Chains A and B, each alone.
Chain A
Amino acid sequence: MNTLPVGPAFALSLAAYSTGALASLAIWRKPALCRYICCGSALAGASFGGLAAVLGILQGAPLRWSISSGIPLFAYSFDYDALAGFFNLTLAILAGAVSIYSFGYLKEFEGKRNIGFFGFLFHLLLLSLTIVFTAANAFLFLIGWEVMALAAYGLVTFYHEDRETRRAGLLYIVMAHIDAGCLLLGFALLMQVSGSADFASFRTAAGHLSSSQQAVAFVLFFVGFGIKAGVIPFHIWLPAAHPVAPSNISSLLSGVVLKAGIYGMTRVFLDGLGVLPSWAGLLVLIVGVASAVLGVLYALMEHDLKRLLAYHSIENIGIILIGLGAALVFRVAGHPQLAGLALIAALFHTLNHAIFKCLLFLGAGSVLHSTGTRNMEELGGLIRPMPVTAFCFLIGAVAISGLPPLNGFVSEWLTYQSLLAGFGATGGLTRILFPLAGSMLALTGALAAACFVKAFAITFLALPRNAGSRSAHEAPRSMLVGMSWLAMACVALGLGATWFLPAFDALTEQLLGQRIGSNLISSHGWVLSAGTPHGGMVSTSVIAIALLLLLIPALLVVSIAARRFASKRGPAWDCGLPGLTEDNEYTATAFSKALRMIFSVLYQPRREIQTVFDVSPYFPKAIRFESEIEPTFEKRLYVPLKDLLLRFATRMRAIQAGSIHAYLAYIFVTLVLLLLFGVRP
């Protein structure tokens, strides 16, 4: 079986991304040609990357390529194992869809913005992600990681003339550096123990880690990867940075770049640090629950379509972490079967979230492209001018809400099953935490559904609320192709879950030593089973068929009724106030009012109404209404932190004299003292 050309396909995809990057820069003066090259080479790279990933997964056995660099501790080593293949597949699916979409999306940049520079950063991002997902050397990984952060920064600040964009970019780059610093320290600790920067050596050295070293390394990696993944409380950069980027990039940032954090956690926690103690797994689980619930609660209050999606990314990262944390707890408790279930749930949700979040961001991008606004309160009625976009967005919304029979349902169902099984399989505090996490996950799912009812209904239904949405038009064909491809993937992964899940066999065998993916398929081949005692069984295909069957009588009733009673058209019921306009429509704020009241402890909502009147308050001239919720984490955690830092910096300014001689003197005195200190007898 080792004849599959994984290596050549992988090398070709790296080559396609690199040439794409350079070619885009080289021909930036010809925007039209540049657009073709940019999207074409990205598509080629994605196809080769996807081919390599599929072949790698079929092959099963891990592959390794290594080129020595001549520099100590550094080598160009790549590991193409099941985990790398899985994340590369995710990347390839998204990169392919985004490059087709970009073909239409970038057209409006022509003559206005530098497509060459955009293409360069875009390819650099894809290239660095591929390297991050395959690197087997700590330094190569870190280089990929930093290039990824810088390319993402360049893309986030692409509309740099906007002040909000620049602020978001600054916040992003600061957080990215804190996270890279944590990773550097973590890897330094591992390198000190193993004496090498190779990932394989970390695996063997994991046994020599003392428990305190393991704990420190775990915390460093968790913070480092957690910032990149946007878990609460390190999430503040995410809702700022993702919405301001061009929409095709937002979709990649939310779809894949966040997943780099998940990849890192999976790689290090399950593969590099030995068996982590159970508190580590519980910490991941609790952080996951907090991110899921708070993420969706903040999303509910958001009226900016793209920010809403960004908050949903926090929620879904939380769901993934719940699965990952459960897998860590089960592994140390000696339940590899359950650990496999939880891990598959987490990784399957990673893939699913990547696909539907990318789809939703692309949909939001089409809306923005067509109407020029991200504010939902100004949109409305877009289903008529943009039917395909609306349908694709609806598919994404159903999938992200975890409704059967789409893919989001399958992975959330698997997560539930692992949490419920955890109640029987563990003891003590853990035993209580699992069902609690399960109920929180249920709450999250319900709130997410409510949030997407709001997002879809306010954006696409009813009457248009401003001129932009009245004159909306359908997106160009290439953008629709990009979106439909992802929508089809959502449906396929949902209905064909039983066919897809055995592909995780190699992955669980590599990380947990058991082939578990196939166990989740019951003997009929169409039914998913949790494979646990008292575990549930479900079949998405049967649900889909049942839904279709239910549709038939409904359609029958409607058609018979329509024949029996001749249809009449009349004005909508207007409560006796004739002349309803779009101003009378239900708004997003109104829709989320009930939840704002229920969760007012968390939101701390503030409302201000000012009435301007001449003579009597009964005859107001104008009413000003303001409503906002408190950004708790920014206000309670980050602002005090920032103040502390600034105070410290002001103190430190005393030695910052601005004189070269003073600086030289500092260095000189330190040097002489250190020299004398070093040779003291």
Chain B
Amino acid sequence: MTFLQDPEFGDRIITLMAALVLVLQIAAVGQRWLVSSIRIFAVQSFLLAGIAGIIAYFNHASHIYIAAMLTLILKAGLLPWLLERLVRRIEIRREIEPLINAPLSILIAGGLTLVGYVVAQSFYHPEETSVRGALGHNTLAVAIALFLIGFFTMLNRRKALTQVLGLLSLENGLFLAAISLTYGMPLVVELGIFFDVLVAVMVLGILVFRIREAFDSMDVSKLRNLRE
């Protein structure tokens, strides 16, 4: 079992998982069923927790295990469950037409991935990288792409619920960036971020209900009527 100590092996696993995360993210852009979107997010978070666990294992950073566990419980478990319950309650299964249609959205997502790689390139200095630093240098590019695509999803969708999903995958990108660059921020910061996300989901969950009550629709474009 020597390969379990080999950083090279860890790097490959992480790259593979990060690639999967990215693929899932792009799949979510084209997805129109709400429940499927939520499940994609859950799987993505599960993979993310895996990446965090592997980084913790190869770097012997025990506090990252806690972050990984939290990701697993909160993002792969609790949040998808909350959101699915919300979907059942408001009885809306499908997203109406997004602002930009699916094929074009996926193209844009591809473009944003490119932007991620361009940006990450400037942080990559192979001559300086130690074995430790080599671990997951691809992940930063994926993380930035994840962040941008998540943001784009928020922009593109009309329903408050799918915007919440966009926000959550955006946050996944941040988490990935933080963990691949710094091998774990101080635990206090991580806890703060988790708490933030949780509160955001709560608030948005309430907001979804309120918007629907007030406007008979979940379409945030209708909020425009509040202007005058």
Contact = CB atoms under 8 A, between A and B. Distances in A.
B220 A661 contact: yes
Given A657-B224, A658-B223, A659-B223, A664 B118 contact: no
B154 A675 contact: no
A660 B227 contact: no
B121 interface: yes
A661 B119 contact: no
A671 interface: yes
Contacts of A671: 148, 151
A668 B115 contact: no
Interface string B95-132: 00001000000000000100100110110000000000
Contacts of A660: 163, 220-221, 223
Given A661-B155, A664-B151, A675 B220 contact: no
A667 B166 CA distance: 14
A665 interface: yes
Contact of B155 (A664, A678, A681): A664
B119 to A, nearest CB: 5
Interface in A622-664: 657-661, 664
A675 B145 CA distance: 12
A661 B118 CA distance: 26
B192 to A, nearest CB: 13
B221 A668 contact: no
Interface string B40-78: 000000000000000000000000000000000000000
Nearest to A657: B224
A672 B115 contact: yes
Nearest to A659: B224
Contacts of B163: 660
Contact of A664 (B115, B154, B224): B154
B158 to A, nearest CB: 8
Nearest to B220: A660
A676 interface: yes
Nearest to A679: B122
Contacts of A668: 148, 151-152, 155
B144 interface: yes
B221 A661 contact: yes
Nearest to A667: B151
Interface string B181-199: 0000000000000000000
B214 interface: no
Contacts of A675: 115, 119, 144
B155 A676 contact: no
A661 B153 CA distance: 11
A672 B115 CA distance: 8
Contacts of A672: 112, 115, 148
Interface string B151-180: 110110000000100000000000000000
Interface in A301-326: none
A674 to B, nearest CB: 10
Contact of B119 (A659, A679, A681): A679
Interface residues of B, number: 20
B1 interface: no
A676 B118 contact: yes
Mostly helix, strand, loop or mixed at chain A's interface?
helix
B156 to A, nearest CB: 8
A660 B223 CA distance: 8
B91 to A, nearest CB: 23
A641 B97 CA distance: 47
A679 B114 CA distance: 13
A676 B152 contact: no
A499 B224 CA distance: 70
Interface string A92-132: 00000000000000000000000000000000000000000
A676 B220 contact: no
B226 interface: yes
Contacts of A664: 151, 154-155
A236 to B, nearest CB: 32
A375 B207 CA distance: 50
A659 B223 CA distance: 7
Nearest to B226: A658
Given A668-B151, A675-B115, A661 B121 contact: no
A365 to B, nearest CB: 44
A660 B221 CA distance: 7
B99 A661 contact: yes
A658 B224 contact: yes
Contacts of A667: 151
Interface in A557-594: none
Nearest to B122: A679
A676 B151 contact: no
B127 to A, nearest CB: 17
Nearest to B223: A660
Contacts of B154: 664
A665 B99 CA distance: 12
A661 B115 CA distance: 21
Contacts of B99: 661
A672 B220 CA distance: 24
Contacts of B121: 679
Contacts of B155: 661, 664-665, 668
Contacts of A665: 155
Contacts of B115: 672, 675-676
A679 B118 contact: yes
A659 B151 CA distance: 16
Contacts of B224: 657-659
A250 B16 CA distance: 69
A676 B111 CA distance: 13
Contacts of B152: 668
Contacts of B223: 658-660
Contacts of B221: 659-661
A675 B116 CA distance: 9
Interface-central residue, A658, A661, A664, by most chain B CB under 10 Å: A661
Nearest to A661: B155
B151 A658 contact: no
B165 to A, nearest CB: 14
Interface in B201-228: 220-221, 223-224, 226-227
Contacts of B119: 675-676, 678-679
A672 B151 CA distance: 10
B70 to A, nearest CB: 22
Contacts of A657: 224, 227
A9 B142 CA distance: 58
A411 B220 CA distance: 65
A469 to B, nearest CB: 50
A671 B151 CA distance: 10
A658 B118 contact: no
Contacts of A681: 122
A658 B221 CA distance: 9
Contacts of A661: 99, 155, 220-221
Nearest to B148: A672
B163 to A, nearest CB: 8
A668 B148 CA distance: 8
Interface in B130-151: 144, 148, 151
Interface in A455-514: none
A672 B108 CA distance: 13
A184 B99 CA distance: 43
21 contacts: A657-B224, A659-B221, A659-B224, A660-B163, A660-B220, A660-B221, A660-B223, A661-B220, A661-B221, A664-B151, A665-B155, A668-B155, A672-B112, A672-B148, A675-B115, A676-B115, A676-B118, A676-B119, A679-B118, A679-B121, A679-B122
Given A661-B155, A676-B115, 10 more contacts: A658-B223, A659-B221, A660-B221, A660-B223, A661-B221, A665-B155, A671-B148, A671-B151, A676-B118, A679-B118
The 3 closest A-B CB pairs, nearest first, are A658-B227, A679-B122, A658-B224
Interface of A: 657-661, 664-665, 667-668, 671-672, 675-676, 678-679, 681
